Every structure is written in structure tokens, then in C-alpha cells.
Amino acid sequence: ILYTWFDRPLSLAGRVVLRSDDPLNPRTEIVRFDRPLLTIPHLAIHFNRAVNEGNPLSKQKDMLPVIAIVREAAEKNNMLLRCVAEAVGCGVEDILDFDLSLFDTTPACLVGLDGEFLTSGRLDDLSMVHGAMTALLETSSTKQTRVMAIFDNEETGSGTKQGAASPVLMQLLRRIVTCLGGSEEDYLRSIDKSFMVSADNAHAYHPNYPEKYDPTNHPVVGGGPVIKINANCKYMTDAESAAVFKSICEKAGVPCQYFVNHSDVAGGSTLGNILTSQIDLRGVDMGEAIWAMHSVRETMATRDHAYTIRAFKTFFDL
């Protein structure tokens, strides 16, 4: 949601690729500037009186950030590269390339009379990452192999070598079975007995826009984990897998709810059905109900995250 990025303290984070002795294996360093470096100032309303009646934005023109006041022409030469080189501790000439992105530096915080809401950047989908990792670390079942898979590039199509559409998960699962002394047949039998929870956040009911939601199957913030259903198979959920996850929630002692798109409003997709195109896993798509998905700051109920962790821990302990 582009306009949510205006007039905020922004900074840079990502990876920097440096020269090494082996051209096929350059050195990679992670960089993050913790102090605000940039801002994208909005045009004053005096120059766009109709801004509150709709404001089409050009990614090329309107979204350019400002980083500094350049006093001398020489200052702008390699300005950004010099900042990056200083942060990494290398020379500008050692930087071959980089992948850097902007992020909002405003810290996450609790909101509400009783602190019942959490507002933060990137809740979709780092809240699911945190919930799954917490559950994995706090359980110790030896009945089965427990796997947590986190994929990059979901919002751009998952078509990279590290995305869900790549064979990385399938290959890793095969290697796990092989390392345990199993055969290809053992791998296939393991897949047949497996169950996947595809965890990605869901759209919480927004009281200002009731017409955007299905009249009966709309989750609310604070109502528990959300089972996501789509008749066009954008999610992998079916009746059996929904029943499995509902039973997990019941065993964990947490409520669960359902999300179904309004029939006239197309929704998003997620990784579940991308993965099942390569691995014939049973599974369910679920998530936590959030407001303002894909805004620079999203909002969720704190109790939903606690519910989700309890459900994930129960799942890992089955």
C-alpha cells in the first residue's frame, strides 16, 4: 500500500556482495542501518487539493526517497556506496553489488485500552515465522521428524531458487530420509503420512468495510487462528484438512475461525498449493487475522499470536 510509506523515518537493510579471490564465490555481508536515513515526503495538500479524493501514485516518480542535502557536487559521488562500505567495513572498490530495501524504523508497539493490539511492520508474514519457530523450540517430540520451512519471495511469485516454487523443500526432505538410512520408497511413504500447516496471515473483518467480506465466514481480530478456504483452490484447504486443524485447535484449547472470500472480491494466494504441485502433501492454509495487510504497518490481536503458538506446539507434539 504505497501511500503508507510517506512521511516516515526509513532506513536500509539487505546484503552486500564483496570481491573475493574466487570469482564464483564472492563474499556476502549483511548490513542494516538502525538509524533513520531516508524519508519520502508527501506533496503538500496545497499543490494537490484533491488528494483526499483519490491519489494515483507513480512508483517511478512519487516514491523516490530523499537521503541527504548535497552541498557540493563531489559529495553525491558514490554517496550511498560510501555509507554502505563504512557500515560493512570495506572499501567502496570492494563492493560488487547489493540487494538493499527500505524499511520503516518506527518500533512495533501495543495499542488499545488494554494493549490488546500489536501494530508493526511485516506482521505478514513474520508473525507466522515467530510462532512456528517458538513452537519448534519449545517442543521435543521424537515421534516424527518436525520441519519448519520458511520461503523467500512469496510476494513476487515464489519463482526464485529460494522460493516455494523451487525444488528446495522436496530435495531437503529427500536428503533427511537418505541421511536416516531410508530409501526412495521410505521417502514416499513419509510424505504420504505427513501433514503440512501452510501458515500465512488472513484478512480480519474491518468494521468500516463490511461489504468487502463474506457475510458469515469472516474472522475477527482476537478470535483465534483462521482456517482459510477458497473454492477456486487458491488455498490447499479442503474439508478433511480443515477438520484436522480444527481438531488440533480443540486439543490445544484455543478457538479457531474461518475465512472465505466474498464471492465478488478476489483474494490473494499463498504457498500451500504451490508446494503441493511438487510434493503431494495433505495440508491446510491458515493464519492470524490482521488489519491493513501489506501496509507499512499492520495490526493484529496479541491474544491471536498466543493462540497460534499453542496450536503449533500441539501440532508438533502429535
3-state secondary structure at position 261: strand
Give me the phi and psi of 90, to 5 degrees please.
Answer: -140, 175
Which part of the chain has CATH 3.40.630.10?
109-316
3-state secondary structure at position 177: helix
Which part of the chain has CATH 2.30.250.10?
2-104
**Which strands, in side-by-side order, build the sheet including 117-120?**
109-111, 117-120, 298-301, 289-291, 202-203
- Cis amide prior to 304 (ω within 30 degrees): no
- pLDDT band of residue 267 (cuts 50, 70, 90) is confident
- pLDDT band of residue 74 (cuts 50, 70, 90) is low
Helices (H) and strands (E) counted in the chain, each on its own, are 7, 12
Q: What is the pTM of this model?
A: 0.91
Question: What's the chain's length in residues?
Answer: 318
For domain 109-316, the question of CATH label 3.40.50.2300 is answered with: no
For domain 2-104, the question of CATH label 3.40.366.10 is answered with: no
pLDDT in tens, 117-127: 999 999 998 99
3-state secondary structure at position 130: helix
Give me the phi and psi of 170, to 5 degrees please.
Answer: -60, -45
The x, y and z cell numbers of residue 139, run together, are 517442543
Strand segments, DSSP code E, in the chain are: 10-18, 27-32, 95-104, 109-111, 117-120, 195-199, 202-203, 226-229, 257-260, 282-287, 289-291, 298-301
Q: How many CB atoms lie within 10 A of CB 274?
A: 20
Find the range with the poorest average confidence among 10-19, 156-165, 302-311. 156-165
pLDDT in tens, 288-308: 999 999 999 999 999 999 999
| Calpha distance 222→288 (Å, rounded) | 9
- Model confidence at 202: pLDDT above 70: yes
